[in-house]
Structure 1
Amino acid sequence: MPMRGLTVIVTRPQGLRSALELAAANAALGGPARVFTQGEAVAALAQPMRDRHDEDYHAAGLPMLADLCEEALALGVGIIACQSGLALMGVTIDRLDPRIEFGGPVGVLADVGEDRLLAI
């Protein structure tokens, strides 16, 4: 039986780390995965990508946020930045990794299909 897909909706910057970890795990297990950032969470995707707790994670031997994002993208996780969130947070497209897609909540929900849906 094929692994079900996972769609994670992130609304706050603090949730991006967990969303990327979950999506990457699903992709590593053979299932499709995507992360949709909305509102304030879009700002967490801007380069240089940092989390205020990155140093704590690094000191504990865990990956920093930019490393998690790179790993997720390498595993085929789709990352989608909300177009309204970009405007709201004043983030321009040139500050995002070119592999990040753009869209809105209607498009994401229209494509959920049989995916498990998780909001963080």
Structure 2
Amino acid sequence: MTRSTYRYVGMAIEPDPGAAPYTVRATCATCGERSPDPEAEGPTGQHSEAQRWCRDHAAHHHPDGRHLHYTATVTYGWQITPTEDIGPAADHGSAASSTPNSPNTLVRPPSYPKAVST
């Protein structure tokens, strides 16, 4: 049995500068057709474009009134940054977990090689 030590580390969340830009798209739940890529820059303009597409899709492309349900998909990249040094990156299979609704995340400190006695 191995022993592990854990500690809580604060984490900050912010927009990811290397991620794809903010986008809002709408999808018709009836036929699966999607709104085109947004042309507006800001979130408000993109939401308005997606809603306008939904109304146009329902009223002009399907005037029989059967395309009434839509899903909005918002894509926005975030990155998490520890507020202090947490050591080397952990393996994907590590036992680190998080506490729900907490601004802190449970992090395993770096492991050190065991001393070998001679």
Same fold (TM over 0.5): no
Structure label with greater radius of gyration: 2
Decide which structure has greater helix share.
1
Decide which structure has greater strand share.
2
